[in-house]
Each structure stands twice: as C-alpha cells, then as structure tokens.
Amino acid sequence: MTSHDLPRLVIAAPASGHGKTMVATGLIAALRATGLQVSGHKIGPDYIDPGYHALAAGRVGRNLDPWLVGPEQILPLLLHGANTPGRADVAVIEGVMGLHDGAVGRGRFASTAQVAELLASPVLLVLDTTAQGRSAAALVLGMVLFDPAVRIAGVILNRVGSDRHERLLREALDEVGVPVVGAIARSDAVVTPSRHLGLVPAAERHREAQDIVAALGQLIADQVDLEAVLDIARSAPPLSGEQWRPAGQVQRCGDAVVAVAAGPAFTFGYAETTELLTAAGATVAYFDPVRDAVLPEGTAGVVIGGGFPEMHAEALSANAALRSQLATFDGPIYAECAGLLYLCRELDGAPMVGRIDATATMSPRLRLGYREAVAAHDSAVAVTGRRVNGHEFHRTVTDPSYGEQPAWYLGGDQHGAATGFIRDRITASYLHTHWAGHPDAAERFVASCIAVAGGP
C-alpha cells in the first residue's frame, strides 16, 4: 500500500440550504489565490457544483459517490483527482444534503459522513444561523456526538445577523468545544441563481460565473480564517491506498474517434467517462450541438450526456444540419437524459433528431433519486443482465417512456420497470451512470465503434 500525505477537509452542513456550495467554492478560490493548488470534489451525483469548483480551482471538479462507484473506489478516485493533472496541495470536498443523510432506506450509505470516514477526513460544518442563538451550539454538539466515526473539527457561521449575534454564537460554541473558523454576514451580495433542477451550470453563464466565483473567493478570504482551515486540513492523517488510473480499468481496444456532446445544453458528465474512453483507445473530440454544423471528422461513435436541452430547444432545433447528420449516423450512440431528449422526434414541440420514436415534454414532477438497474438487452455499453447503479434527475417525460427494446429494468432485477430505448446501435435513457463504477461500458463502447467502422 502506498502512503499519501494529502491535506483535506470535508465541507458539510446539518441540512441542504446552509451554504455548503458557497463556502466550498469560495474556499477553493481563496486558497488558490494564496498560491496553493486545490483539488475540488463533490460527494454525491451532482453535476453542477463541480462546475463551480472547476472554475475556482482551475482544474476539473470531481465526484465521490459510493452509490455510483462503490465505497472501495472513493479513496482511489480522490487520489486520482488530487494528482491530476498535477499534485494538489489540499483537497476540498463538498458534502451532499445533511451530514448524515444517505441513500434512502440505507442508513448512512452514500452520506457525507460515510465518505468523511472512508477518507479519514476532518469535517468543517457550515451552519445557517438565521434565527438561532445559543441553540446553534446544541445543534452542533448533536452533530458531533451522533456519529463518533466523524470528526467535526470546526464551524463556519453563515448568515450572521450582527456583531452581537456573532459574539453570542462564538461564546455558545466555545462552551461545547468546537472552534469557529469564520463568520459570514447575512447578505444578498453573492448569489448563485437557481433553476428547476438546482444551480445554473457554470458553463451556461461562464463570464458571470467567473465573477461569482471571484466574489465568493474574496468573501471567504475576508470572513474566514484560512490558516485555521489549513491547520484542520493538515490534521488529516496520511492515506494508505492506490490511486485510480483509467488505464488500469480497461483494455485498449484499438483506435476510434468518439464525439462527446458539450456546450451549454449538455453540461452533465463525469470527467472519468472521457478518461476511460481515452484509455480504451478513443480519441475524444467535443462538439456543441447548438453551434456545430457537423460532427468531428472521423467520428465513429457519439456520447451525449445530460444537461438542460429544454432551455436550448429552439437553438438545438435550429441547427438542422447537425440534426440531419445525426439522423443518418450509423455508429453507436450512447445518450443519458438530455441526450435522450435530443434524440427524440421533438422536445416541447421543437423538432429534434428523430432517432427515438418518442416525444418529450416538460413535467411538473421532479424525478430525482438513486436507481438500481439491470441491462434489459445487449447494447454498446452493456450485456444483458449487467447490473449498474445510477441516478435520475429530470422534470421531463417521454411518450412512450420506453421502446420495444428497453435499455434498462429498474429495481435491481429483470422484473423491474422498463425504461429507455435501444435501437439502431443507440442506447438512450434517463439513467445517469458513472463509468468508474462499471468501466467495462467504456471498453465495450469503443470496441463497438471500431467494429462498426471496420477497424481491426
């Protein structure tokens, strides 16, 4: 086992809405401004927060999700992110929901607390102090005592109303022995606008997002004791384990150009997906379905991930040249959620690619949660019966909801609910997956591209 000395800390909260993303993003930016190399990570399946982490850190934001990749991969993936493209001086890991909230019905599994324990990482608790006085100390003490495997090393007070309020809170927390390392005043000066699924992705509003990240960095630098935070991060013990490496997960199948959708409509994806494709022999070429009239030269396969195509339906529809090319493209296509919608006949009345015989519309209901899935048929990414863990995250529906050959059965066996479509070398569904949890998908996809293109 290799020993790794990586200063690190987890940013957590008692519940959603306390300001984790604001603090984590601002902390990454503030530490980077001091000259440190910072690696940003997000617990859970969320795609949006890592985009802000990436802007703040100047390197790819990464996800750490025990449900999607398995608990055994959390440490290796942290080390991979902290050493790619170069070694980070400190890792900032943003939690998900409340500190102890995990997958529904599975206790602490996939919770921030579980990941903090897996990584032997100290926790910095962000606390919304609105309408709270000394009771804030009781809440923090309860969080400290609830799970002895989790070490809460400090608190950042958020939305503090006044100097007097801050003194009261600091005195109360001093009584329970938890240090306060920062206090952020109640203010609307820094906001991250929301949309029906959460924050607006940074890639959709890059210039404004850069300004927000810079303002968050300054806010944290002004109101948080960065040296105290670094002392907490440096208190984390050395990690013993091996770094995740894409080339160690897949066999190289040959050479093929795989076009991956990008741009404002398709911002949801995990960095490890393209790293695994590359390791399997793909040359990854990005294209923007809003702006690019043709696929990258030599494209043998296409990957279209998630995002908000409903916000860009008119622009996607207006790019008739690319839609026409995709309508006759003969290679494998893998599509998740937004990619599924783009491949349908239409989205909210706007013509789309038309490769999936279904229409897509917005829905008042949010479908959100972890899913167990079994491959319903052989496809370019899985053999029949392959079990994977994924998640859903959408406010749209398709009619019909699945095709004659569904992509997956949900629920963990082949008697579950059918979902998605397989046809003409296309695999499309609402299911989001993290290929680090089943890297054979990348290997199989590249091999399929090579086979269709007539490669060796």
pLDDT at 194: 56
pTM of this prediction exceeds 0.75: yes
Number of Cβ within 10 Å of residue 229's Cβ equals 25
**Angle ∠(52,58,61) on CA atoms, nearest 5:** 50
Domain regions of the chain by residue span: 3-240, 246-453
Dist CA 157 CA 247 (whole Å): 43
For residue 323, give both structure tokens: 């839609």
191 three-state secondary structure: coil
* Pick from 111-115, 206-210, 346-350, 437-441: least confident: 206-210
pLDDT at 197: 44
Average pLDDT estimate for 93-102: 95
429 three-state secondary structure: strand
Average pLDDT estimate for 304-309: 91
For residue 120, give both structure tokens: 């032997």
287 three-state secondary structure: strand
**Angle ∠(237,240,245) on CA atoms, nearest 5:** 125
Q: DSSP assignment, residue 214?
A: H
Average pLDDT estimate for 37-42: 98
Q: Does 3-240 match 246-453 in CATH topology?
A: yes
Whether the pLDDT of residue 198 is over 80: the answer is no
Average pLDDT estimate for 311-334: 96
Question: 105: number of CA atoms within 13 Å, CB side?
Answer: 3
Whether the pLDDT of residue 211 is over 90: the answer is no
Q: Are 125 and 13 in contact (CB under 8 A)?
A: yes
Whether 344 is catalytic: no
Q: Architecture of domain 246-453 in CATH?
A: 3-Layer(aba) Sandwich (3.40)
Closest CA to 373 of 405, 408, 344, 345: 408
Average pLDDT estimate for 282-299: 97
pLDDT digits (tens, 9 = 90+) for 151-187: 999 999 999 999 999 999 999 999 999 999 999 998 7
Q: Find the catalytic residue in 253, 337, 344, 449.
A: 337
For residue 72, give both structure tokens: 């055994």
pLDDT digits (tens, 9 = 90+) for 217-251: 999 999 999 999 999 999 999 999 999 999 999 99
Q: Architecture of domain 3-240 in CATH?
A: 3-Layer(aba) Sandwich (3.40)
